[in-house]
Amino acid sequence: MIAIIDYDAGNIKSVEKALILLEQEVVITRDREQILKADKVILPGVGAFGDAMGKLKQYGLDQVIHEVVEREIPFLGICLGLQLLFESSGEAPGVEGLGILKGQILRIPDAEGLKIPHMGWNSLHLEHDGRLFKGISEQTYVYFVHSYYLKAAEEQIVKASTEYSTHIHASVEQGNVFACQFHPEKSSDVGLQILKNFVEL
Protein backbone atom coordinates (compact mmCIF):
# COMPACT_ATOMS: atom_id res chain seq x y z
CA MET A 1 0.00 0.00 0.00
CA ILE A 2 1.25 3.47 -0.90
CA ALA A 3 0.35 6.42 1.33
CA ILE A 4 0.09 9.86 -0.27
CA ILE A 5 0.41 12.52 2.42
CA ASP A 6 -2.58 14.88 2.45
CA TYR A 7 -1.64 18.37 3.64
CA ASP A 8 -4.08 20.40 1.50
CA ALA A 9 -1.54 20.86 -1.32
CA GLY A 10 -2.50 20.85 -5.00
CA ASN A 11 -1.78 18.03 -7.43
CA ILE A 12 -2.38 15.06 -5.11
CA LYS A 13 -5.09 13.48 -7.29
CA SER A 14 -2.91 13.24 -10.41
CA VAL A 15 -0.29 11.30 -8.42
CA GLU A 16 -3.01 8.96 -7.14
CA LYS A 17 -4.27 8.41 -10.73
CA ALA A 18 -0.78 7.54 -11.99
CA LEU A 19 -0.30 5.00 -9.19
CA ILE A 20 -3.71 3.43 -9.90
CA LEU A 21 -2.61 3.06 -13.54
CA LEU A 22 0.33 1.08 -12.13
CA GLU A 23 -2.23 -1.10 -10.29
CA GLN A 24 -1.17 0.08 -6.85
CA GLU A 25 -3.33 0.25 -3.75
CA VAL A 26 -3.27 3.94 -2.75
CA VAL A 27 -4.53 5.88 0.24
CA ILE A 28 -4.54 9.69 0.57
CA THR A 29 -4.19 10.34 4.28
CA ARG A 30 -2.80 12.45 7.07
CA ASP A 31 -3.29 9.68 9.65
CA ARG A 32 0.02 8.87 11.38
CA GLU A 33 -0.66 5.14 11.81
CA GLN A 34 -1.80 4.70 8.22
CA ILE A 35 1.29 6.50 6.92
CA LEU A 36 3.68 4.48 9.09
CA LYS A 37 2.03 1.19 8.06
CA ALA A 38 2.45 1.95 4.34
CA ASP A 39 5.03 0.16 2.18
CA LYS A 40 5.93 3.46 0.49
CA VAL A 41 5.11 7.10 1.22
CA ILE A 42 4.80 10.02 -1.24
CA LEU A 43 4.77 13.76 -0.49
CA PRO A 44 3.52 15.48 -3.67
CA GLY A 45 2.38 19.07 -4.01
CA VAL A 46 2.41 22.37 -5.78
CA GLY A 47 2.15 25.62 -3.85
CA ALA A 48 4.16 27.92 -1.59
CA PHE A 49 6.92 26.63 0.70
CA GLY A 50 5.88 28.66 3.78
CA ASP A 51 2.18 27.70 3.57
CA ALA A 52 3.07 24.05 3.02
CA MET A 53 5.39 23.88 6.03
CA GLY A 54 2.66 25.55 8.10
CA LYS A 55 0.17 22.83 7.06
CA LEU A 56 2.63 20.00 7.72
CA LYS A 57 3.23 21.35 11.23
CA GLN A 58 -0.48 22.02 11.84
CA TYR A 59 -1.29 18.36 11.10
CA GLY A 60 1.82 17.02 12.91
CA LEU A 61 3.00 15.58 9.60
CA ASP A 62 6.52 17.05 9.89
CA GLN A 63 7.16 14.60 12.77
CA VAL A 64 5.53 11.72 10.87
CA ILE A 65 7.78 12.33 7.85
CA HIS A 66 10.87 12.23 10.10
CA GLU A 67 9.58 8.91 11.51
CA VAL A 68 9.06 7.50 8.00
CA VAL A 69 12.67 8.39 7.15
CA GLU A 70 14.01 6.94 10.42
CA ARG A 71 12.12 3.68 9.84
CA GLU A 72 13.64 3.52 6.34
CA ILE A 73 10.28 3.34 4.57
CA PRO A 74 10.90 4.39 0.93
CA PHE A 75 9.82 8.04 0.65
CA LEU A 76 9.33 10.14 -2.50
CA GLY A 77 8.98 13.93 -2.57
CA ILE A 78 7.57 15.45 -5.78
CA CYS A 79 7.94 19.14 -6.82
CA LEU A 80 7.17 21.13 -3.65
CA GLY A 81 7.61 17.80 -1.84
CA LEU A 82 11.29 17.84 -2.90
CA GLN A 83 11.81 21.41 -1.71
CA LEU A 84 10.26 20.77 1.72
CA LEU A 85 12.86 18.07 2.43
CA PHE A 86 15.58 20.74 2.62
CA GLU A 87 16.40 23.25 5.37
CA SER A 88 14.88 26.42 3.94
CA SER A 89 13.73 28.21 0.80
CA GLY A 90 14.31 31.68 -0.63
CA GLU A 91 10.54 31.75 -1.19
CA ALA A 92 9.86 31.90 2.58
CA PRO A 93 12.76 33.51 4.49
CA GLY A 94 12.86 32.44 8.13
CA VAL A 95 10.67 29.35 7.60
CA GLU A 96 12.46 26.11 8.45
CA GLY A 97 12.00 23.19 6.10
CA LEU A 98 12.09 19.53 7.18
CA GLY A 99 15.91 19.55 7.09
CA ILE A 100 16.15 15.89 6.05
CA LEU A 101 18.52 16.77 3.18
CA LYS A 102 21.08 19.56 2.88
CA GLY A 103 20.91 22.24 0.21
CA GLN A 104 19.38 25.53 -0.81
CA ILE A 105 16.07 26.23 -2.54
CA LEU A 106 16.65 29.32 -4.68
CA ARG A 107 14.58 31.37 -7.13
CA ILE A 108 15.30 30.60 -10.77
CA PRO A 109 17.29 33.60 -12.02
CA ASP A 110 15.67 35.79 -14.67
CA ALA A 111 17.09 35.20 -18.14
CA GLU A 112 16.20 36.72 -21.47
CA GLY A 113 13.62 34.70 -23.36
CA LEU A 114 12.84 32.37 -20.43
CA LYS A 115 9.60 32.55 -18.49
CA ILE A 116 9.29 32.02 -14.76
CA PRO A 117 7.65 29.90 -13.52
CA HIS A 118 9.42 27.30 -15.61
CA MET A 119 6.56 25.29 -17.11
CA GLY A 120 7.24 22.62 -19.68
CA TRP A 121 9.38 19.74 -20.83
CA ASN A 122 13.12 19.65 -20.14
CA SER A 123 15.69 16.93 -20.71
CA LEU A 124 17.49 15.24 -17.83
CA HIS A 125 21.19 14.59 -17.45
CA LEU A 126 21.43 11.39 -15.39
CA GLU A 127 24.29 10.84 -12.93
CA HIS A 128 25.37 8.72 -9.95
CA ASP A 129 23.17 5.71 -10.84
CA GLY A 130 19.81 6.83 -9.46
CA ARG A 131 17.51 3.92 -8.65
CA LEU A 132 14.48 5.89 -9.90
CA PHE A 133 16.08 6.10 -13.36
CA LYS A 134 16.63 2.39 -14.02
CA GLY A 135 15.80 1.78 -17.68
CA ILE A 136 15.51 5.52 -18.41
CA SER A 137 17.62 7.00 -21.22
CA GLU A 138 19.99 9.95 -20.88
CA GLN A 139 18.40 13.25 -22.08
CA THR A 140 14.86 11.93 -21.56
CA TYR A 141 12.28 14.73 -21.30
CA VAL A 142 10.12 15.24 -18.20
CA TYR A 143 7.58 17.89 -17.18
CA PHE A 144 8.42 20.75 -14.80
CA VAL A 145 6.32 23.48 -13.12
CA HIS A 146 8.33 25.61 -10.66
CA SER A 147 9.80 29.02 -9.87
CA TYR A 148 12.32 27.78 -7.28
CA TYR A 149 15.00 25.15 -7.73
CA LEU A 150 17.31 22.98 -5.67
CA LYS A 151 21.03 23.44 -5.28
CA ALA A 152 22.01 20.39 -3.20
CA ALA A 153 24.93 20.71 -0.79
CA GLU A 154 26.27 17.25 -1.70
CA GLU A 155 26.73 16.48 -5.40
CA GLN A 156 26.68 12.75 -4.66
CA ILE A 157 22.96 12.73 -3.81
CA VAL A 158 22.06 14.33 -7.19
CA LYS A 159 20.78 11.70 -9.63
CA ALA A 160 19.44 13.97 -12.39
CA SER A 161 19.90 17.59 -13.37
CA THR A 162 18.62 19.97 -16.03
CA GLU A 163 19.37 23.45 -17.38
CA TYR A 164 16.88 26.30 -17.29
CA SER A 165 18.49 29.70 -16.81
CA THR A 166 20.80 27.90 -14.34
CA HIS A 167 21.96 24.40 -13.38
CA ILE A 168 19.05 22.71 -11.58
CA HIS A 169 19.31 19.61 -9.42
CA ALA A 170 16.19 17.83 -10.68
CA SER A 171 16.29 14.61 -8.63
CA VAL A 172 18.07 13.45 -5.49
CA GLU A 173 18.39 10.21 -3.57
CA GLN A 174 19.84 9.46 -0.15
CA GLY A 175 19.16 6.17 1.59
CA ASN A 176 15.39 5.62 1.54
CA VAL A 177 14.67 9.25 0.56
CA PHE A 178 13.98 10.06 -3.11
CA ALA A 179 12.79 13.34 -4.62
CA CYS A 180 12.03 14.86 -8.03
CA GLN A 181 11.55 18.54 -8.86
CA PHE A 182 9.70 17.52 -12.03
CA HIS A 183 6.30 15.79 -12.09
CA PRO A 184 6.63 12.09 -12.97
CA GLU A 185 2.82 11.79 -12.85
CA LYS A 186 2.63 14.34 -15.73
CA SER A 187 5.64 13.05 -17.67
CA SER A 188 3.92 10.45 -19.86
CA ASP A 189 5.38 6.91 -20.13
CA VAL A 190 8.78 8.01 -18.81
CA GLY A 191 7.17 9.39 -15.66
CA LEU A 192 5.20 6.18 -15.16
CA GLN A 193 8.43 4.19 -15.46
CA ILE A 194 10.05 6.41 -12.79
CA LEU A 195 7.07 5.87 -10.47
CA LYS A 196 7.17 2.12 -11.25
CA ASN A 197 10.85 2.05 -10.28
CA PHE A 198 9.91 3.67 -6.96
CA VAL A 199 7.02 1.25 -6.41
CA GLU A 200 9.34 -1.72 -7.08
CA LEU A 201 12.13 -0.66 -4.71
Query: What is the set of active-site residues?
Result: 79, 183, 185
What residues contact residue 79 under an 8 Å CB cut-off, 6+ apart?
11, 44, 45, 46, 145, 146, 180, 181, 182, 183
Q: Reduce the secondary structure of 41-70 to three states and give it as a string.
A: EEECCECCHHHHHHHHHHCCHHHHHHHHHH
What CA–CA distance (Å, rounded) separates 88 from 72? 23
Burial readout 12-50 (b: 16 or more C-beta within 10 A, e: otherwise): beebbebbeeeebebebebeeeebeebebbbbbbbebbe
Count of CA atoms in the C-beta half-sphere (13 A) of 161: 15
Cis peptide bond N-terminal to 117, omega within 30: yes
What single DSSP character describes residue 10? B
CA 31 to chain centre: 20
